[in-house]
Structure 1
Amino acid sequence: MELKIISPQEGGFVKEIQWNNEELKAAIAEKMRDYTGLVFTEDTIKDAKKDRATLNKLKTAFEDERKRIKRQCMAPYDQFEAQVKELTALIDEPIRLIDAQIKEVEEQKKTQKRRDIEELFGSIGFQLFVTLDKIWDEKWLNATVPISRIEEQMKSRMYQIGEDVAVIQKLPEFGFEAMDVYKNTLDLNKAIQEGQRLAEIQKRKEAYEEEQRRKAEEERRRRLEKENIRPVPVAPEEHKAADPETLCLDFRVWGTREQLLALRNYMKDNHLKFGKVE
């Protein structure tokens, strides 16, 4: 079965379309020189429009002839192209049928190989949180990749996962959260980054809480100092009633707000002079 061109034979195609090209080119070039440097005025604008129409008509005549010759030259080719497409359409049908059968056979082989890979995965002994879809490589289904190579890659991946787990377990903090990320992604970098992110949040939280405690303690100190260590004026008659042998004792007291208020009231009730220790 061979395509044979009966007519035209090699060399039988039109090599050249012969026409009075040079004659026309010389005549038109000579005519066009008449327009070189030509200036039209308002009085001669009608002549300009007439000349433009004449030139457009001449140009259209050449274009129409070019298209006519092209159609004549292309006619046999267009017929030949249609005939060839008709033949290739006949060939395409069995090609499609064969392709469908080849694809079906290849899909059956891939399905069987996937089963073999699943069985192999179950025999390797991966960590409990590892599933086949997490380590799956689509290239494993290629016919050029043997089961023995897939087994090597699986074992290598299992050992790597074990090393990653050991690294995560050594994290100083947030190892549980990092491990949770790793179990979902099998990505050591993401797991470590999550641990570091949580540790940074914890540090900021502790710093914030410490600052709040410091501010609260400072405020409490100022409030107690204002409420409990403020000098209380003593009435003249109360001072005169005091023991002539009055003693002075400086001391510091710790207690709750209620206790300190009660102490102050006690000293007031007993006419004890007290004030802030400088």
Structure 2
Amino acid sequence: MPEQNEVLAPQDLTYTVNFKKSSISIENYDLLKTKVSEYAAKYQNMIVNDNTVTDAKDVRANLRKLKTAIDDKRKEVKREYDQPLKEFEGKVKALTGQIDAAIAPIDKAVKSLEVAEREKRHADLIAQIAEIAPAYNIEPEAVEPDPSWENATMWTKAGKPTVGLTRAIGERLKGMQLQQERMKADKAATEAYAKANSLDPYSWLQQIETGATFADLRVQMDAALMQRKQAEERAQHEKEAAEAIAKAKQEQIGGKTIDGETGEVITSSEQTTLNTAAPKTYTRAFRVTCTEKQMWSLADFMKSNGIQYESIKGA
């Protein structure tokens, strides 16, 4: 009986199989083939009609019987030929089954141990990140560990992180630190630029949280400012045009201003009202489908152009 935990080498269990290659042949095959060919050819082009259908059915039945007789012989030989192989396979499976029975509990125990070891490495990894992260001003909870960091190769036999693992964690934290500093600088620049140009900074700052940079947003804010300027210029032109049209309709008679269309006298207060009358406003409901970034840009555009809007509950 082997000692405890002694593993036998595969060559110690090799076995020899007495096997002789068999050959299967059909006596007088060529003669048989010729007869079958002649018999089949005799009826291959048989004309089948109302007058010959009975004979045709008989011929078909005979041909099928001939085919069955030939194939039955093949099946009989195959059964005899396969029998030794089946017996051999049965004996081999009995042997491998005994080995599988020995493997199963060992495999279960090994996997259970591997799970426990991985769970311990995971806990040790979290502790390692918590220890290093503060040096980079990073919250440990914000670090997403790489799955490979829990592999056994990343830890020493004593359960300590390898140099490679420590370096990998440090590189991840350094990258997060640089990203955090960039976002902070971009937020400060974005907020200052938005306030300097009378834009609501909130929507622009939200975009930095999703990966946008100040350089990206500067282009968009400049576009919003241009739209606002163009809208103001249009409004001024419309106001000037309205005043010009109103003035063109008026006539000065005896020191009084007369409406050229109605003939009524326009008082000084009415004149002021005509000159400063606000443009007609409209209210329309729209359903807009776009990305969050586009939605914020639309909101800024409407704000910069003095367009009032409100969210509809449930929309």
Q: Secondary structure at the match of 1:144?
A: helix
Contact 2:154 2:164 in 1 (8 A): yes
- Please give the alpha-carbon distance, in whole angstroms, between the structure 2 residues aligned to 1:234 and 1:133: 80
Quick one: structure 1 residues 98 and 156, their matched pair in 2 at CA, closer, same or farther if it must change by over 3 Å? same
Q: Which residue among 217, 238, 261 is the counterpart of 2:272? A: 261
Q: Secondary structure at the match of 1:10?
A: coil
For 1:155, the equivalent position in structure 2 comes to: 170
- Please give the alpha-carbon distance, in whole angstroms, between the structure 2 residues aligned to 1:259 and 1:104: 93
For 1:54, the equivalent position in structure 2 comes to: 62
- Please give the alpha-carbon distance, in whole angstroms, between the structure 2 residues aligned to 1:205 and 1:179: 17
For 1:212, the equivalent position in structure 2 comes to: 231
The two structures have a TM-score, normalised by structure 2, of 0.59
Query: How much is the aligned-residue C-alpha RMSD, in angstroms?
Result: 3.7
List per-residue Cα deviations over 1:134-169 (Å, max 9, x = no partner).
Answer: 341111122222322111111222223333344445
- Please give the alpha-carbon distance, in whole angstroms, between the structure 2 residues aligned to 1:203 and 1:231: 42
Q: Which residue among 28, 35, 38 is the counterpart of 2:36? A: 28
- Please give the alpha-carbon distance, in whole angstroms, between the structure 2 residues aligned to 1:33 and 1:220: 104
Q: Which residue among 183, 187, 190 is the counterpart of 1:173? A: 190
Contact 1:168 1:179 in 2 (8 A): yes
Report how far residue 25 of structure 1 moved.
Answer: 1.2
Report how far residue 58 of structure 1 moved.
Answer: 0.4
Report how far residue 66 of structure 1 moved.
Answer: 1.4
Quick one: structure 1 residues 86 and 153, their matched pair in 2 at CA, closer, same or farther if it must change by over 3 Å? same
Q: Which residue among 148, 152, 162 is the counterpart of 1:143? A: 152
Matched to 2:176, the amino acid is I
- Please give the alpha-carbon distance, in whole angstroms, between the structure 1 residues aligned to 2:112 and 2:126: 21
Contact 2:136 2:173 in 1 (8 A): yes
Report how far residue 97 of structure 1 moved.
Answer: 0.7
State the structure with more CA Rg.
Answer: 1
Matched to 1:163, the amino acid is L
Structure 1: runs of 5+ lacking an equivalent: 182-189, 240-256, 265-278
Deviates more, 1:199-208 or 1:62-71: 199-208
Q: Which residue among 66, 69, 82 is the counterpart of 1:74? A: 82
- Please give the alpha-carbon distance, in whole angstroms, between the structure 1 residues aligned to 2:171 and 2:14: 57
Contact 1:228 1:260 in 2 (8 A): no
Quick one: structure 1 residues 3 and 231, their matched pair in 2 at CA, closer, same or farther if it must change by over 3 Å? closer
Contact 2:136 2:174 in 1 (8 A): no
Identity %: 21
Q: Secondary structure at the match of 2:143?
A: helix
Contact 2:137 2:177 in 1 (8 A): no
Quick one: structure 1 residues 116 and 261, their matched pair in 2 at CA, closer, same or farther if it must change by over 3 Å? closer
